Amino acid sequence: MGVFSGHWPSESELDKLRQKVAEMSGRDAQEVRVVVSPYRICPLGAHIDHQGGTVSAMTINRGILLGFVPSNDTQVTLQSGQFKGEVRFRVDEVQLPKHISKTNGLNEQIDSSKPQEECKWGNYARGAIYALQNKGNPLKTGITGFICGSEGLDSSGLSSSAAVGIAYLLAFESANGLVVCPTENIEYDRQIENEYLGLKNGILDQSAILLSSYGCLTCMNCKISHSVENSDNYRPHVQTIKHKLIRPPEVQNNHVGELGNAYKILLAFSGLKQALTTNPGYNRRVAECQEAAKLLLQASGNEEVEPVLSNVEPEVFEAHKSKLEPDLAKRAEHYFSENERVLKGLEAWASGNLKEFGELITASGLSSIQNYECGCEPLIQLYEILLKAPGVLGARFSGAGFRGCCLAFVDADRAEEAAMFVKNEYCKLQPELASHINQGPAVLICDAGDCARVI
């Protein structure tokens, strides 16, 4: 268990990936294309996206790599660095959502010669074909590909599923000569997750991965605008997120980004693979936010409006919060204070004030614990250790806050020292969990990343 930093993807990683695909396909390594699909973090904006709040995001220089060559036919052949088995199908096969396949007894998508769980990892690739077919894209060329995540990295809380879906979309589009804009790919990845796989999540992750730009903070207004497509492929409620890139002052002036050289991003892993908490989970919190919104809207005479907290004015909350039960009042307090922290954080980033930016991240973490009441003892301990680490500017949970990791912004000159401090202190408090982090680093030192792309 250790500390790791470095450039990603490195030339050696790219060379190994290209060589692997060359061996699989019998083609020259120089023909191999690589999709870089980064993981994302959200420094500010915890647990408010589902209420239509404003959030901030940026990618990191770790994520998913997919090396591939276009096939000479419609065949898709995939292998994985993390999972066993080989996935094979054709791009001209009709891909049905998984629940439809099951109810109709159509199991031809699963290779019965291998254990089923070994090939489930291929569902994201099939889902990408499903999304592209839905829009009527002509798909005539398959790929031979090898996909892998950043080595030894537990990606809990870092949006790995969205990164995988986007990687496959970009590869199939590249192989078939399709030019697709980022906003279209956000919708395609939503279809992979919501429609094909049946997952109930929003579009924050894929938006961050596709819209971010190196050195910038991506600001996203999650107050969803819905549109309805009237076509043979009827898909109601296509979602869009309004976004803008907040550039630090040095980037705006086209100089080498001094702000980018001033900080590093720490990811500290807890060793938790599942929630170790008696607190109600994610869906319960969403319901509590909606109930608070409903009561506040009723109190202000706006009960016909959709019950999400973004439809409640802050002054309405202040005037009527005494009417809420204590738990509901806490959830609403977190929403309104976090939304305010995001707006202040965007100003701090734009002016290059990392100290204030970090303080807001820490306040976000505290509100997540006290008002949103997520987290469990190991994660809270990790958060508190990060705040004591040398050079740390601010810290909070990454992801839902019931497992996974914490993130911190740290003075670049003290990143190694801080990472070692966190690793040692966490081992003292949680030796058993720390021992589970045996294949990768306990603390990862990262830089900001760029958007998903083909290189």
CA–CA gap between residue 453 and residue 94 (Å, rounded) = 27
Q: How many residues does this entry show for the chain?
A: 455
Beta carbons of 202 and 174 less than 8 angstroms apart: no
User: Which helix (DSSP H) or strand (DSSP E) does residue 122 occupy?
Assistant: none
- With CA atoms as reference, report the closest residue to 265 among 363, 354, 159: 354
State the residue for tokens 């993807």: 9
The answer to whether 21 and 71 are in contact (CB under 8 A) is no
pLDDT tens digits, 314-357: 999 999 999 999 999 999 999 999 999 999 999 999 999 999 99
- Closest by Cα among 417, 158, 157 to 264: 417
Question: Tokens 């291929």 — which residue?
Answer: 122
How crowded is residue 241: how many other Cβ atoms within 10 Å of its Cβ?
A: 22
pLDDT of amino acid 256 = 42
Cα–Cα separations (whole angstroms), residue 15 to 30, 175, 273: 10, 20, 32
**Contact (CB, 8 A) for 451 and 182:** yes
Helical axes 182-190 vs 160-175, angle rounded to 10°: 120
pLDDT at 401: 66
161 touches 35 (CB < 8 A)? no
Specify the 3-state DSSP secondary structure of 19: helix
- Whether 447 is catalytic: no
| pLDDT tier for residue 433 given thresholds of 50, 70 and 90 | confident
Q: Is residue 113 scored above 80 in pLDDT?
A: no
For residue 403, the model assigns a pLDDT of 67
The model's pLDDT over 365-406, given as tens digits with 9 standing for 90+, comes to: 999 999 999 888 999 999 999 999 999 999 999 876 666 789
Tokens of 328: 């509901």
The phi, psi pair for 69, rounded to 5°, reads -130, 145
- Top pLDDT among 344 and 435 is at 344
- Can you give the pLDDT at residue 1? 45
Q: What is the mean pLDDT of the chain?
A: 86
Task: Quickly count: other Cβ atoms within 10 Å of residue 283's Cβ.
Answer: 10
pLDDT at 118: 46
- In DSSP notation, 296-331 reads HHHHTT-TTS-S-GGGS-HHHHHHHGGGS-HHHHHH
Where is 56: in which H helix or E strand? strand 54-70
In the prediction, which pLDDT does 441 show?
Answer: 76
Instruction: Report the pLDDT value the prediction gives residue 236, as an integer from 0 to 100.
Output: 40
Residue 158 has pLDDT above 90, yes or no: no
User: CB of 143 within 8 A of CB of 76?
Assistant: yes
What is the per-residue pLDDT for 99?
Answer: 56
Mean pLDDT of 204-229: 82
Residue 112 is predicted with a pLDDT of 34
The yes-or-no verdict on residue 152 having pLDDT over 90 is: no
For residue 45 the two structure tokens come to 């904006």
Structural domains in the chain? 9-98+120-248 (3.30.230.10)
Provide the pLDDT for residue 317.
97
Q: What pLDDT band is residue 248 in, cutting at 50, 70 and 90?
A: confident
Residue 239 confidence class, pLDDT cut points 50, 70, 90 = low
Residue that the structure tokens 């500010």 belong to: 44
Read off the amino acid at residue 384: E
pLDDT in tens, 263-297: 999 999 888 775 433 445 777 898 999 999 999 99
β 143-149/75-80 pair status: parallel
What percent of the chain lies above the pLDDT cut of 90?
Answer: 68
DSSP secondary structure of 177-218 = T----HHHHHHHHHIIIIIIS-----SHHHHHHHH--TT-EE
pLDDT of residue 282: 74
DSSP 448: B
Q: Annotated catalytic residue: which of 154, 205, 411, 447?
A: 205
**18-75: per-residue pLDDT in tens?**
999 999 999 999 999 999 999 999 999 999 988 999 999 999 999 999 999 999 999 9
Categorize the per-residue pLDDT at 235 as very low, low, confident or very high, splitting at 50, 70 and 90. very low
Tell me the mean pLDDT in the region 299-321.
Answer: 95
Least confident of 3-17, 35-49, 185-199, 215-229: 215-229
Element spanning 379, H or E: helix 377-388
